[in-house]
Amino acid sequence: MKLKGKYVLVTGAGGFIGSHLVEALVKREAKVKAFVHYNSRNDWGMLEFVDRHIQSQLEVLTGDVRDSDCIRASVSDCDAVFHLAALIGIPYSYVNPRDVVDTNLVGTLNVLQAARDFETEKVIHLSTSEVYGTAEYVPMDEKHPLYPQSPYAATKVAADQLALSFYRSFDLPVAIARPFNVYGPRQSARAIVPTIISQALEKKSVRIGSIYTTRDLTYVADTVEGLLRICESDQTKGEITNLGSGFEISIEELIELVARCLNKSIRAISESKRKRPKTSEVERLCSDSKKAQKVLGWVPQVTLEEGLALTISWIEKHQGLYKGELYNV
């Protein structure tokens, strides 16, 4: 399906990836409904930082994905749904696993049921590389075993499988997008890249958890382009598609790279309170995205150095959003 002129719902539109996706959809001339989590401040999350011209073309809906009536009303007249709404903090999932289960699993069920009832043309469900756990082999393709090592990852495995079951049981046109470690402007301090940058801008040291784990970092614009192509392709229904760079970097190396970008010396301080429980730590992630390249013609365009420069520039301008001295659960 081509997105131009289509009515498209984005759940989690107030989040980091969601806000960038909404921008891209408007530029593709889709008619966008942006679903954000209700709050009494009428705060649209990261959509607040989207250009006013883009904002003026959105229909912003407020609610909660756990509310089935609210979701049904939002999905009812949409041609496509990008389901991004989720509680994504891994440390938070250790503290409040029930909240994470309710949002990530029940919320997904509500979206799937509504899409089935209203015969939505395409549902793109956002997964995560965390479902794979520590790499058993690299690069990690879509056939890599699933081994969730946190309550968050477990909810995403369950949500992914629920989505696929709706494809198999009811022929709901669902596609699973599985991004690796997305980074870029507007990302919260619970993620590793802004955690490092926000501290490094203010001090000569950064406090983090493990420094030896490796991650596959993909710039947000590349990830969003992958999501759009997954939606528009007729070959992605019932399929899982990795979206990653295929390049892994350790957290220690990442800190060194940020330091070079800032032209300063940065010391890494590993704190036990920031580390995951030993058997919950994902030691290594590295994507095999050959499927995305073959089926979608998708290849990341932004280098890590270019992406970090763009991210540093944004965080510098919005340093007040980050509390570098605090551990963001």
What per-residue confidence (pLDDT) applies to 96?
Answer: 97
Residue 290: inside a domain: no
Note whether residue 188 is domain-resident: yes
The residues annotated as belonging to the active site are 152
What digits encode the pLDDT tens for the residues 225-276?
Answer: 999 999 999 999 999 999 999 999 999 999 999 999 999 999 999 999 899 9
Average pLDDT score over the chain: 96
Give yes or no: residues 89 and 197 share one domain. no
Using a pLDDT cut of 70, give the percent of the chain over it: 99
Which CATH number do you get for residue 12?
3.40.50.720
Which whole number is the average pLDDT over 4-12? 98
pLDDT of the residue at 324:
66
pLDDT, residue 329, reads 78
**What phi-psi label fits residue 184: left (phi over 0), alpha (psi between -120 and 50 degrees) or beta?**
left
CATH of residue 194's domain is 3.90.25.10
The answer to which of 118-127, 165-174, 187-196, 213-222 has the lowest mean pLDDT is: 187-196
> Is 116 contained in some domain?
yes
Least confident piece of the model among 110-119, 188-197, 236-245: 188-197
The reply to whether 233 and 120 lie within a common domain is: yes
**Are 70 and 196 in a shared domain?**
no
Task: Please determine, for residue 323, whether its predicted confidence score (pLDDT) is greater than 80.
Answer: no
At residue 325, the pLDDT reads 66
328 — pLDDT class (breaks 50, 70, 90): confident
Domain that residue 27 falls in: 7-182+219-243
158 and 173: one domain?
A: yes
State whether 169 and 57 are in the same domain. yes
User: pLDDT value at position 327?
Assistant: 79
Domain count within the chain: 2
Residue 257 lies in a domain: yes
| Average pLDDT, integer, range 82-110 | 97
Residue 252 in any domain: the answer is yes
* pLDDT per position as a tens digit, 277-317: 999 999 999 999 999 999 999 999 999 999 999 999 999 99
Across residues 216-233, what is the average pLDDT?
Answer: 98
178 & 191 share domain: no
Claim to verify: residue 204 and residue 140 sit in the same structural domain: no
Q: With cut-offs at 50, 70 and 90, classify the pLDDT of residue 326.
A: confident
Long-range Cβ pairs for the range 41-49 (8 Å, 24+): 43/14, 44/13, 44/14, 45/13, 45/14, 45/15, 45/19, 46/14, 46/15, 46/16, 46/18, 46/19, 46/186, 47/13, 47/14, 47/18, 47/19, 47/22, 49/19, 49/185, 49/186, 49/318
